[in-house]
Structures are given as C-alpha cells and as structure tokens.
C-alpha cells in the first residue's frame, strides 16, 4: 500500500527527552510492510546550522525536510506560531492523491481536522506518538506508541 509519513519534528524532539533514534530504522518500523511513497519531516527552529548533522541523518534516511522559522511574540521573543504544522498540513493536502495510507507522527489535537478530512477521502489513518501526547480524539484510528519502538530498539 502506498504510504505517506508526516513527522511533526518538534513534538517528536520534545517527546524523546534526549533519547536518540535512528531515523532509517524508525522509518522501517513506521512503514511495517507498506511501500514508502512520501516521508516528510517538519520542524520550526531558528538556527538550522546548529542541527546540520541531525538533518543530514534524517535526509539520508529518505525524508524530505521542511524547516520554517518561528513567528515570535514581539514583547518576549517566545514562539507565537509554529508554521511547520501548517506546512505539514499543506504538503499532505497537496499530495493526498498519491497515497492510500497516512501516518502522522504527532498526536497533537491540532491535526484532527486534517485526519478527519483524509478519513472522509477513504485514506487509512495511523497516529504514532508518545502515550502522554496522543489525544483521545484519535481513538477511532489506529494508534502506535513511540515507546514501543524505543523498547524494541534500545541499543540504537
């Protein structure tokens, strides 16, 4: 089955809590036996140059990388808006006719409208995230937990 993987990089990063993963192995785990049609990694950060080695690993693992600069609050310089979530949704909608299965690595409730739209289009949906981060609103879709991947791949 042609499958697309969309990784919300910021959510994955914070959920890993300093653990490392091999993105090539992670991608294989996500796909199971499905055919990879699109793999995208989406993130929002200021200093891309400080993460070149990390992004090189992701790229070599077959992911297309999408990085956006954050929009910050004027008064305290905190991130006001994460454009990578919007870009993930836009890329998905642009490419939805190219695959039958959609794997979202996030679990954030913000993605519910996207997931519902894809489900109405007949796409198979799978949500992959951390146990404490996958919203209950996704319970009618297939859910896998990253903790299971980490457990199976302890020695990466």
For position 156, what pLDDT does the model report? 61
CB-based burial of residue 120 (10 Å sphere; 0-12 exposed, 13-18 middle, 19+ buried)? exposed
This prediction has a pTM of 0.89
For position 52, what pLDDT does the model report? 81
Residue linked to tokens 């699109």: 38
- Give me Rg for the CA atoms of the chain: 15
* pLDDT one-digit tens code per residue, 117-139: 999 999 999 999 999 989 899 99
For position 80, what pLDDT does the model report? 58
Could you tell me the CA-to-CA distances from 44 to 41, 48, 53, 87 in Å, in that order? 10, 9, 16, 10
* pLDDT one-digit tens code per residue, 4-27: 999 999 889 888 988 889 999 999
* pLDDT one-digit tens code per residue, 52-91: 888 899 999 999 999 887 776 677 766 656 678 888 999 9
CB 127 within 8 A of CB 115: yes
Q: What is the DSSP secondary structure assignment for residue 6, as one 8-state letter?
A: E
For position 94, what pLDDT does the model report? 93
Residue 22, Ramachandran bin (φ over 0: left; ψ between -120 and 50: alpha; else beta):
beta
Q: What is the CATH number of the domain that holds 120?
A: 3.40.50.1010
For position 78, what pLDDT does the model report? 65
Phi and psi at residue 115, to the nearest 5°:
-60, -45
> Would you state the torsion angle of the CA atoms of residues 30, 149, 131, 70, taken in this order, to the nearest 10 degrees?
-60
For residue 29, what is the enclosing H or E element?
helix 23-31
Higher per-residue pLDDT: 47 or 36:
36
b/e sequence 14-27, b meaning 16+ C-beta within 10 Å:
ebeeeeebebeebb
At 147, the pLDDT band (50, 70, 90 cuts) reads very high
Percent of the chain topping pLDDT 90: 57
At 45, the pLDDT band (50, 70, 90 cuts) reads confident
Domain count, the chain: 1
Range of the domain at 78: 2-152
Q: Tell me the C-alpha distance between 9 and 102, whole Å.
A: 16
User: Is the model's pLDDT at 2 over the cut of 80?
Assistant: yes
């Amino acid at each position: 089955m042609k499958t697309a993987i969309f990784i919300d990089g910021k959510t994955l990063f914070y959920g890993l809590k300093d653990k490392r993963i091999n993105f090539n192995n992670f991608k294989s785990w996500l796909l199971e036996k499905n055919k990879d049609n699109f793999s995208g990694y989406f993130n929002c950060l200021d200093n891309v140059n400080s993460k070149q080695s990390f992004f090189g690993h992701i790229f070599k693992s077959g992911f297309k990388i999408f990085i956006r600069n954050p929009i910050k609050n004027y008064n305290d310089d905190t991130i006001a808006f994460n454009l990578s979530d919007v870009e993930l949704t836009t890329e998905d909608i642009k490419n939805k006719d190219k695959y039958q299965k959609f794997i979202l690595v996030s679990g954030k409730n913000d993605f519910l409208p996207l997931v519902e739209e894809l489900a109405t289009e007949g796409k198979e949906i799978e949500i992959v995230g951390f146990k404490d981060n996958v919203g209950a609103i996704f319970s009618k879709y297939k859910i896998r937990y990253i903790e299971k991947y980490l457990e199976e791949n302890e020695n990466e």
